[in-house]
């Protein structure tokens, strides 16, 4: 079950999003999601459902990670739309236009996983192509364990992520975790730009937009510490069940892309994930691609559509 609604959640003023470049997609909100009543959740909802296309039931569900938001998918969304499909790109609670619980203790693996399941049910999404990276994959790859989601799910596009199987952490990840935990006012935009040198100043500012000050960054600060890297941590059991699903029960199509310059979730860990996903494609490897590989997303989306025959 989802946690009770946090007492104190912050809401980013709308004017912070006034000058977001290349992201003019319709934003919708829900504030009465079961178990999350009173928290306003934001999501992009665009494409076939609005146009009356016969492909209205084909949906790309794009899940971002830490410390980004749905803006990360702006290069991929138009490619998916051109295929005639619907695109849903939610902002996790604590990120983007969604409300931001102010206490780090309000954040947990299941708090966010259950939110995604409830949102899929509310929107009655069908024929889902799951598109995941970073925490979008840590959470999203576990969703098919739930039978109700599995009935709605078809294919997978996976980038620079993993499953939280409780197997310890690399030195690179430990350094990132310690930095995040000890830096209350995380420099979000510059962190993302560090591995994505082609970002413009306006795009860097867009990544900073959801966070007017450090008070809004509880989620960004605590998320690395929530990655299920020890056997007793929340999320390990459901992640292990997910590994079983991907190995033995998944019979859809998948496409993998890897930003090879990612120091934590680059080629080696992604090739380990590939072994878990039944029938996973040979990956597209983007040699200069960093962790936020969606910033090379047009090329990835086009190749994925071709592979998935979408």
The answer to whether 130 and 143 are in contact (CB under 8 A) is yes
Catalytic residues: 134, 262, 291
For CA atoms 65, 268, 300, 262, the dihedral sign is positive
Give whole-number Cα distances, 115 to 16, 127, 251, in Å. 25, 19, 26
The two tokens of residue 177 are: 């975790």
Listed by start position, the domains of the chain span 9-308
* Distance from C-alpha of 248 to C-alpha of 214, rounded to nearest angstrom: 44
Q: Could you tell me which of 184, 203, 178, 181 has the C-alpha nearest to residue 192?
A: 203
Q: 66 and 177 in contact (C-beta within 8 Å)?
A: no
- Amino acid 4: pLDDT: 54
pLDDT of res. 194 = 94
- pLDDT for the residue numbered 57: 73
- Write down the CATH number for the domain with range 9-308: 3.40.50.1820
pLDDT in single tens digits along all 310 residues of the chain: 444 545 589 999 999 999 999 999 999 999 999 999 999 999 999 997 554 444 457 999 999 999 999 999 999 999 999 999 999 999 999 999 999 999 999 999 999 999 999 999 999 999 999 999 999 999 999 999 999 999 999 999 999 999 999 998 888 899 999 999 999 999 999 999 999 999 999 999 999 999 999 999 999 999 999 999 999 999 999 999 999 999 999 999 999 999 999 999 999 999 999 999 999 999 999 999 999 999 999 999 999 999 998 7
* Residue 263, phi then psi, degrees to nearest 5: -75, -15
Predicted local distance difference test score (pLDDT) of residue 5: 47
The pLDDT, as a whole number, for residue 49 is 56
In this prediction, residue 71 carries a pLDDT of: 98
Q: Please provide residue 27's backbone torsions phi and psi, each rounded to the nearest 5 degrees.
A: -105, 135
With beta carbons less than 8 A apart as the criterion, state whether 9 and 102 touch.
Answer: yes
8 Å CB contact between 268 and 260: no
Rounded-to-integer distance, Cα 181 and Cα 29, Å: 30
Give the chain's radius of gyration (CA, Å). Answer: 18
CB 224 within 8 A of CB 173: yes
**Pick from 59, 74, 114: which is nearest to 92 by CA?**
114
pLDDT of the residue at 310: 75
């Amino acid at each position: 079950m989802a946690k009770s609604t946090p007492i104190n959640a912050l809401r980013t003023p709308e004017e912070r999003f006034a000058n977001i470049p290349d992201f003019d997609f319709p934003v919708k909100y829900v504030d009465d999601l079961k178990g999350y009543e009173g928290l306003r959740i934001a999501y992009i909802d665009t494409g076939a459902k609005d146009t009356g296309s016969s492909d209205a039931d084909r949906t790309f569900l794009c899940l971002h990670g830490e410390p980004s938001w749905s803006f990360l998918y702006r290069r991929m969304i138009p490619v998916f739309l051109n295929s005639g499909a619907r695109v849903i790109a939610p902002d996790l609670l604590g990120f983007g236009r969604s409300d931001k619980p102010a206490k780090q203790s309000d954040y947990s693996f299941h708090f966010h996983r259950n939110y995604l399941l409830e949102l899929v049910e509310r929107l009655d999404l069908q024929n889902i192509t799951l598109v995941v990276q970073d925490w979008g994959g840590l959470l999203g790859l576990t969703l098919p364990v739930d039978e109700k989601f599995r009935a709605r799910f078809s294919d997978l596009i996976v980038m620079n992520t993993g499953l939280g199987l409780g197997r310890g952490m690399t030195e690179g990840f430990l350094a990132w975790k310690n930095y995040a935990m000890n830096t209350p006012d995380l420099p979000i935009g510059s962190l993302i730009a560090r591995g994505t040198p082609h970002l413009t100043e306006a795009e860097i500012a867009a990544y900073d937009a959801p966070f007017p000050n450090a008070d809004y960054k509880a989620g960004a600060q605590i998320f690395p510490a929530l990655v299920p890297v020890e056997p007793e941590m929340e999320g390990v059991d459901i992640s292990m069940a997910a590994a079983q699903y991907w190995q033995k029960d998944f019979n859809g199509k998948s496409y993998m892309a890897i930003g090879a310059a990612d120091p934590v979730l680059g080629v080696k860990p992604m090739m380990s994930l590939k072994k878990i996903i039944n029938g996973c494609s040979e990956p597209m490897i983007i040699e200069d691609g960093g962790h936020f590989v969606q910033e090379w997303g047009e090329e990835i989306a086009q190749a994925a559509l071709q592979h998935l025959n979408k």
